């Protein structure tokens, strides 16, 4: 039976998400831990996508599916990048899709607009598209990515790339079979300090990296309870249907790259603990007292305000992740790296450096270290990012530019499908741990053992490629 987009949304918005993730299984069914072991054992690597370089594309023909919060930002960036042709725009809301096309009125781009419930499939089926960029609500990402790859398209998806372990494995198996790229666009990996941090690690500043910390702590209460901000109140529904760290990749991505996860090390197991919800249900009840729209939300129970997840790697390193989208505290990503010779801490500001003398270095030393370790990729695009007003401190431009440049030169992407799977898998695994008194659970090896010989491939000093222009 052919499922519709509406059916898909119904099965993945509230309780359905828990069923898909394996955390609310009927009695007698296997646990998520058992599912994880079964899926990993069943996987045989068809082709190693780590370091894979697809044939070069002189012109990258792009389709964007989802034009709500993130899609227009990518649109505004891609229009400035040489060698890009935006061919299709798709959103279930016609006004969003047509508004996006209007932004391209004075450019060479002439995209076709798609607005039907199943039109995202039509976009993926077209033979004049090379790259499908997916910026829909994240519980739709994996299904759309798999469909696009099966129709011969490279995929770049917003974060996270998958909501369940089954979906993580579907991404891996499809990418290996089709040999199409599946990149999760973790833009925090392209922020200036995070690239600096990665270069410091590669140049030996930290000595042996021992521990890393990352977070996405920022209050989303206003946005999540705004009837006109997120389509179908989808983010609030996620907080009402899941537990654990449901948004781990901003904090985890830069730390994982410093530790060469999937390329010399891998996640071994995790434990996760969560506070009660002290704010979301109370806010829903407060709003429901004067607005019937919120009555269904007032009856829901919500994930805890703070989740803390600890990961141990196979090589003996540790990672601490936090996620708090409710407390009225300042935006905090932490992003700390601690090694045998030095340490850095990004948040709360200002960023700090330690050279091993048990105190943070002076501002003068911090400036010297920043100048010494800033990689070429940051210098190359920092001024251009200001000219094009790209979001997140220019990281959105740097990320999209690098993606297009790699596709045009036939180079490996900075983030591959194994990163997408391993980083996204923290969602269902942390949920299982929270629901099982913070017991530990193994993290699958999505590389099927190839992590032992895979090499780091994020070319932060632009040894290859780098010639694609950014047009002001």
Angle at 357 between CA 352 and CA 363, to 5 degrees: 35
Q: Are 390 and 77 in contact (CB under 8 A)?
A: yes
- Cβ burial 56-87 (10 Å sphere, 16+ → b, else e): ebeebbbbbbbbbebbbbbbbbbbbbeebbbb
Contacts for 26 with CB less than 8 Å, ≥ 6 apart: none
Q: What is the pLDDT of residue 17?
A: 38
Is the overall model pTM greater than 0.85, yes or no?
yes
Over the chain, what HEC string results?
CCCCHHHHHHHHHCHHHHHHHCCCCCCCCCCHHHHHHHHHHHCCCCCCCCCCCCCCCCCEEEEEECCCCCHHHHHHHHCCECCEEEEEEECCCHHHHHHHHHCCCCCCCCCEEECCCCHHHHHHHCCCCCEEEECCCHHHHHHHHHHHHHCCCEEEECCCCCCCHHHHHHHHHHHHHHCCCEEECCHHHHCHHHHHHHHHHHCCCCCCEEEEEEEEECCCHHHHCCCCCCHHHHHHHHHHHCCCCCCCHHHHHHHHHHCCECCCECEEEEEEEECCCCCHHHHHHHHHCCCHHHHHHHCCCCCCCCEEEEEEECCCCEEEEEEECCCCCCCECCCEEEECCCEEECCCCCCEEECCCCCCCCHHHHHHHHHHHCCHHHHHHHHHHHHHCCCHHHHHHHHHHHHHHHHHHCCCCCCCHHHHHHHHCHHHHHHHHHHCCCCCEECCCCCCCHHHCCCCCCCCCCCCCCCCCECC
Q: Are 26 and 384 in contact (CB under 8 A)?
A: no
300 CB neighbour count, 10 Å cutoff: 16
Q: What is the pLDDT of residue 389?
A: 63
Q: How far apart are CA 78 and CA 108, in angstroms?
A: 12
> At what angle are helices 165-178 and 32-42 packed, to 10 degrees?
10
Per the document, the length of the chain is 472
CA distances from 40 to 45, 182, 214, 470 (A): 10, 19, 27, 42
Q: What is the pLDDT of residue 385?
A: 65
* CA of residue 252 relative to chain centroid, distance: 9
Our CA dihedral for 96, 97, 101, 102, rounded to 10 degrees, sits at -30
3-state secondary structure (DSSP) of residue 115: coil
Per-residue pLDDT in tens (0 to 9) along the chain, 472 residues:
344 444 444 444 433 333 334 344 444 579 999 999 999 999 999 999 999 999 999 999 999 999 999 999 999 999 999 999 999 999 999 999 999 999 999 999 999 999 999 999 999 999 999 999 999 999 999 999 999 999 999 999 999 999 999 999 999 999 999 999 999 999 999 999 999 999 999 999 999 999 999 999 999 999 999 999 999 999 999 999 999 999 999 999 999 999 999 999 999 999 999 999 999 999 999 999 999 999 999 999 999 999 999 999 999 999 999 999 999 988 999 999 999 999 999 999 999 999 988 899 999 999 999 999 999 999 988 766 666 666 667 899 999 999 999 999 999 999 999 999 999 999 999 999 999 999 999 999 999 999 999 999 899 999 999 999 998 7
Q: How far apart are CA 421 and CA 45, in angstroms?
A: 14
End-to-end CA distance of the chain: 48
Contacts for 470 with CB less than 8 Å, ≥ 6 apart: 80, 81, 82, 381, 384, 388, 397, 401
Beta-bridged to residue 216, according to DSSP, are: 323
Taking 3-state DSSP, the helix, strand and coil percentages for the chain, each rounded to the nearest 5, stand at: 40, 15, 40
Q: Are 33 and 441 in contact (CB under 8 A)?
A: yes
> Radius of gyration (Cα) for the chain, nearest Å?
22
Q: Are 17 and 163 in contact (CB under 8 A)?
A: yes
Positive or negative CA dihedral for 176, 254, 185, 468?
Answer: negative
CATH 3.40.309.10 is the classification of domain 189-375+418-452: no
Q: What is the pLDDT of residue 388?
A: 66
Our CA dihedral for 369, 373, 377, 378, rounded to 10 degrees, sits at -10
């Amino acid at each position: 039976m052919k499922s519709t987009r509406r059916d898909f949304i119904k099965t993945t918005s509230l309780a359905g998400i828990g069923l898909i993730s394996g955390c609310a299984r009927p009695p007698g069914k296997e646990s998520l831990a058992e599912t994880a072991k079964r899926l990993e054992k069943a996987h045989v690597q068809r082709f190693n996508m780590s370091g894979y370089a697809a044939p070069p594309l002189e012109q990258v023909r792009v389709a964007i599916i989802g034009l709500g919060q993130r899609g227009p930002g990518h649109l505004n960036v891609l229009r400035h990048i040489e060698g890009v042709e935006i061919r299709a725009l798709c959103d279930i809301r016609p006004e969003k899709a047509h508004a996006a096309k209007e932004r391209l009125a004075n450019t060479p781009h002439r995209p076709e607009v798609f607005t039907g419930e199943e039109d995202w499939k039509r976009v993926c089926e077209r033979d004049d598209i090379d790259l499908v960029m997916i910026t829909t609500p994240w519980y739709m990402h994996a299904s759309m990515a798999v469909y696009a790859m099966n129709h011969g398209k490279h995929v770049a998806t917003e974060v996270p790339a998958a909501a369940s372990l089954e979906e993580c494995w579907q991404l891996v198996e499809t990418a290996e079979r089709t040999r199409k790229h599946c990149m999760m666009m973790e833009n925090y990996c392209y922020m200036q300090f995070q690239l600096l941090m990665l270069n410091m690690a590669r140049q030996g500043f930290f000595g042996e990296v021992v521990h890393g910390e990352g977070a996405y702590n920022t209050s989303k209460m206003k946005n999540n309870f705004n009837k006109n901000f997120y389509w179908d109140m989808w983010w609030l529904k996620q907080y009402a249907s899941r537990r654990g760290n449901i948004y781990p990749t901003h904090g985890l991505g830069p730390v994982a790259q410093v530790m060469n996860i999937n390329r010399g090390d891998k996640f071994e197991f995790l434990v996760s603990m969560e506070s009660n919800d002290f704010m979301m249900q109370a806010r829903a009840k407060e709003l429901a007292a004067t607005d019937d729209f919120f009555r269904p939300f007032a009856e829901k129970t919500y994930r805890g305000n703070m989740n803390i997840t600890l990961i141990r790697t196979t090589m003996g390193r540790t990672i601490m992740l936090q996620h708090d989208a409710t407390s009225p505290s300042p935006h905090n990503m932490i992003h700390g790296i601690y090694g045998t010779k030095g340490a850095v801490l990004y948040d709360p500001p200002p960023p700090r450096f330690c050279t091993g003398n048990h105190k943070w270095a002076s501002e003068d030393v911090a400036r010297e270290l920043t100048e010494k370790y800033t990689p070429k990729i940051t210098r190359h695009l920092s001024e251009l990012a200001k000219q094009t007003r790209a979001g997140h401190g220019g990281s959105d431009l740097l990320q999209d530019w690098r993606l297009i440049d790699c596709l045009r030169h036939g180079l490996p992407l900075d983030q591959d499908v194994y990163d997408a799977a391993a980083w996204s898998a923290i969602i269902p695994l942390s949920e299982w741990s929270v629901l099982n008194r913070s017991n530990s659970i193994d993290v699958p090896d999505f590389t099927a053992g190839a992590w032992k010989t895979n090499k780091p491939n994020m070319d932060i000093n632009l040894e290859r490629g780098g010639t694609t222009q950014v047009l002001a």
